[in-house]
Chain A
């Protein structure tokens, strides 16, 4: 029931927002999202799968039984963590838009809540088509959020965002449908149940089929993550999106891609993954370094943080491809941590933009003098993002790299990556310190430079509402930095289940690689 509630509450709130009086829209939306967050917490408490794997919060009702389509919901612990992230970010996103959005607020909050429902739906889905519908449907509200409430180049950015990710997802759909069709022809009846399809696909598809499906799925998920070289929609979308849009985009939407890899690619096409993991890891590493170098020469703060997402998500993908529990737990933790720290950075940039109407590092500087509280949070979240130990970013980055480094030495798991992958990727740690500290050095420190633009009605430094937005994120960063065990134990079982097919593959794959090496 919790699963259905999680899906329905945001939708109901969205409907309510359409009809409540103009003055109460924001409050209504905020309360609705708060209720959803509360339900998510209750769901997490009642969830029985923490630590030991398996599904929970299951709910199923047939939609098209003839074709095996059910409204089938349920989560494993990884998905539930991401549901919690979504539900937790939503009230903050609404609170953060309080003063920034002044026109067409009814539509704005409706779309935001619909977006929240769609994202939650992606994580809750146990049925392929439910997943896909939600996955695609996240595009629509996001499109309108950017197109209506964005900055000057919003029309182009929203269009590009929509078409780019939509095209990718269509290919992913083709791949998923092929799996469903193959399963149907094999089993003799239609099913769209994700676990059933995963079980079938991992064993029942030939390696050629797997390779093609991998390509199709990645077309969808890699664009979403985004992986180099299909990342160029992201900086544009981020710079044009309103603050809450950017927060949700970085915080949750990008994770749909990595979650897709976790949920579909790894369990469904293991043979292809094992074959292509080094290649994909190279793409991830190029992304890490390439985006980091681009960050270095940015002058727009928001674009810098957007490109840093490309760089950071590279670590996340690398952790998944390490194909061992170290890397994978690090990677899932990375999804959450990146949502917290980068989400917070986008909030902070939005708060700055509301006051100065510029994000140009050339025009603005030395804000520590003018906005000490803002500066404190800015430095704090930059440090979390840089991966300072004791804060959250460190643990996940460290584990992702460690998993990559130790890929050959983690027991039975296939060791496809290795020390060199990690060593090169780890250069990203140095670059991250470079571009983020250069940004902080310009914007926060140094002599005060303020643009001549007129100041809005907001006070010079953060007001209470804005501090309330940031504090939960900061608390999350510290908590997950000091007690990552809580999250890692929670996801342990689910990750062991996902990886369970890989040790068997390790031996056969090594044989295969050896034989192809011998007879090309």
Chain B
């Protein structure tokens, strides 16, 4: 089995010999630079708009046009794409060399690596980026002339950085994108910079991400030390020359995947570094949809997929990835069940779904992970954008207890129904896109051999049920039931007429985008049925194709029923792939019916149940712990932040009183005490010191000169 996987790998990666016809195509590939250039241009133009205090929607138009340009370029690249991809150099960055060998040079340039994996990512990133920018042009209206240009400049920065991250041909440019998206995230979470909670959330996001970045930096060092290169194509050919096996020095091969993992867990909000993502909801909702749901947070999955051969060298690392992913999925889902802020519920659901993707990577289905990234990008974007529409219309109201019956309200039907589509996909309702992509991961957990992977599979199935429950808790509360609402606390002028609050329904830009992305979320199921062109033995349709041509190819499912006969995993006596259709469908429906019972038909039962649970000592801690997010923030504060803060104060005190006070000033006081009886000499304050210095130097010079004169063997001539 492993042999055959390696056999597949060996065939294609490496620098291709380019025949004449392909040079033409390669020339087309060189347009790839545009994907990065256009957001950069729109950043500059938005900056100009901000400086000129433009009061129109020009920044939004510029950004949307630029991102649309990037999207079109990426699609064109995809259409022109011929495996196995190509490297497109753009600009020199860092090149050091001090010898002949590979280990005597370090080189990292701005260059793009176009293969199917990067194309898959860049297409949905730029596509959703364009749509969400159009949505934001309406959503950000209240800030016209104030922060409007700043907002779209931030979006441009994000798209530029994300492009660097996804398209880079080396780990250093990836690092640039990696920190760049973190910075864009800081910028946009802290968009409402006068609100202390937003500033704190932005700071937290950046710092927690920095912990992950540290892992990435150390991984880059270690990869360079071990393999002598940080460029993917060279790295892959080094690995290939080594037969894809760990024949390098022991500990570094083990350490590399764990360091990369740290980076991926930071950016993709996994245990224990997920704490920043729920707080990141302080940012404007389009940002939450674009950055903190659809695109940036999947960078961790991209990183692992991109460096998958390095993970395969140390099988334990993938097992850890699987377990962390599975546990994060469960933990975040339980927290999501107990929250009341719909945007936070979606945030925890994002953490949970990202956990699924890591589980997929860990159980050797990069295809499942990538497919779930793809479908999740659409349906989670819809969910966030509908939350945003509600927030926009109800003056910031996000509490699901204070909103009800949206689907019966005039002007809110599109919001309610597109939200339903998003909820169905997220809940894994049969034959929606989320259903197929989640199943691909769940089934593989039972197929792949690993420590406790079967338990992990059941955890993931239970989590799927919980997901269906909390998803429809939101929809049934907010969109179904009798019409009732309270406004939030962010009233704008014109919201309240004669003291009475009127929600303003979304208009064309928001509704249009919601519809397009919702349709996209439904259509995301289609790639599952498309034929696989690259290798008919592989299942998984178009997405599998895209993964197949890349560094992540070894994680593809080996087709239904043609596993090399070694072991044939079963679940409840059936082939896991087939069984999962039934199991996950049924589990999802159970979760959905619970939600319907407690939040649609008999809402009073939910309160009664909650009251009942809270009064019982043996179970009462559970809802409390879930509502308080399992106290993870408090644990961080107690274990990391507070001790460091105390240490900081201790260092400060040590610096002031011991080093400076006792040692330095103490030494300085010594001559002063001595000088008490030489006081007549201490005439002035300032000038005498300069004099003393000159004198001192002169005396020393003289002494040395005389001394040397005597000791000098040659004698003075």
Contact = CB atoms under 8 A, between A and B. Distances in A.
A324 B207 CA distance: 31
A163 B668 contact: yes
Contacts of B686: 143-144, 147
A411 B700 contact: no
A296 B179 CA distance: 22
A409 B225 contact: yes
A188 to B, nearest CB: 4
Contact of A185 (B224, B644, B712): B712
Nearest to B212: A430
Contacts of A326: 96, 106
Nearest to B217: A426
A429 B651 contact: no
Interface string B693-710: 100110010001101100
A185 B190 contact: no
Contact of B645 (A139, A296, A394): A296
A34 interface: no
17 contacts: A67-B705, A136-B697, A232-B660, A296-B645, A368-B194, A394-B176, A395-B94, A399-B96, A410-B104, A411-B99, A422-B218, A427-B214, A429-B210, A434-B207, A437-B186, A441-B202, A485-B94
Interface string B661-690: 001100010000000000000000110011
Contacts of A66: 716
A162 to B, nearest CB: 6
B647 interface: yes
B218 A405 contact: yes
Contacts of A177: 700, 704
B402 interface: no
Interface in B430-451: none
A394 B686 CA distance: 42
A483 B99 CA distance: 22
Given A177-B704, A294-B651, A389-B180, A430 B712 contact: no
Given A188-B714, A389-B175, A430-B211, A401 B217 contact: yes
Contact of A388 (B172, B179, B648): B179
Contacts of A408: 225
B98 A325 contact: yes
A503 B196 CA distance: 55
A23 to B, nearest CB: 28
Interface string B195-231: 0100110110011001101100110111011000000
Interface of B: 91-96, 98-99, 101, 103-104, 106, 172, 175-176, 179-180, 183, 186, 190, 193-194, 196, 199-200, 202-203, 206-207, 210-211, 213-214, 217-218, 220-222, 224-225, 644-645, 647-649, 651-652, 655, 659-660, 663-664, 668, 685-686, 689-690, 693, 696-697, 700, 704-705, 707-708, 711-714, 716
Contacts of A514: none
Contacts of B180: 388-390
A429 B95 CA distance: 23
B98 A488 contact: no
A56 to B, nearest CB: 21
Interface string A370-403: 0000000000000100001110001100110110
Given A164-B664, A485-B93, A488-B96, A437 B206 contact: yes
A185 B92 contact: no
Contacts of A233: 664
A189 B175 CA distance: 55
B218 A411 contact: no
B688 to A, nearest CB: 12
A422 B221 contact: yes
Nearest to A162: B689
A236 B665 CA distance: 13
B704 A368 contact: no
Contact of B193 (A139, A164, A236, A446): A446
Interface string A18-56: 000000000000000000000000000000000000000
Contacts of A405: 218, 221-222, 225
A140 B690 contact: yes
Given A389-B180, A419-B225, 9 more contacts: A155-B685, A395-B94, A399-B94, A402-B224, A433-B207, A441-B199, A448-B194, A492-B96, A492-B98
Contacts of B193: 366, 368, 444-446
A395 B109 CA distance: 12
Interface string A210-250: 00000000000000000001001100100000000000000
A445 B190 contact: yes
A496 interface: yes
Contacts of A59: none
Nearest to A297: B648
Contact of B93 (A139, A147, A438, A484): A484
A406 B693 contact: no
A98 interface: no
A423 B648 CA distance: 20
A325 B190 CA distance: 40
A462 to B, nearest CB: 13
A511 B91 CA distance: 44
A448 B193 CA distance: 10
A419 B659 CA distance: 30
B450 to A, nearest CB: 29
Given A160-B668, A232-B660, A409-B103, A402 B221 contact: yes
Contacts of A140: 690, 693
A405 B199 CA distance: 34
B652 A329 contact: no
Contacts of A427: 214
Contacts of B202: 441
Nearest to A189: B714
A411 B645 contact: no
A438 B651 CA distance: 18
A232 B659 contact: yes
B203 A441 contact: yes
A509 interface: no
Contacts of A174: 700
Contact of B96 (A298, A329, A394, A419): A329
B191 to A, nearest CB: 10
Contacts of B222: 405, 419
Contacts of A232: 655, 659-660, 664
Given A189-B714, A411-B101, A483-B92, A447 B194 contact: yes
Contact of B199 (A402, A411, A445): A445
Contact of A389 (B179, B206, B708): B179
A276 interface: no
A433 B221 contact: no
A483 B190 CA distance: 30
B700 A170 contact: yes
A211 B217 CA distance: 35
A326 B705 CA distance: 41
A485 B194 contact: no
A280 interface: no
Contacts of A423: 218
B256 to A, nearest CB: 12
Interface string A155-195: 10001101110100010011001000100110011000000
A465 interface: no
A297 B96 contact: no
Contacts of B705: 67
B224 A406 contact: yes
A383 B161 CA distance: 15
Contacts of A184: 708, 712
A293 interface: yes
Nearest to A426: B214
Interface in A348-381: 366, 368-369
B650 to A, nearest CB: 8
B604 to A, nearest CB: 42
A293 B648 contact: yes
A445 B194 contact: yes
Given A389-B179, A410-B104, A446 B194 contact: yes
Contacts of A444: 193
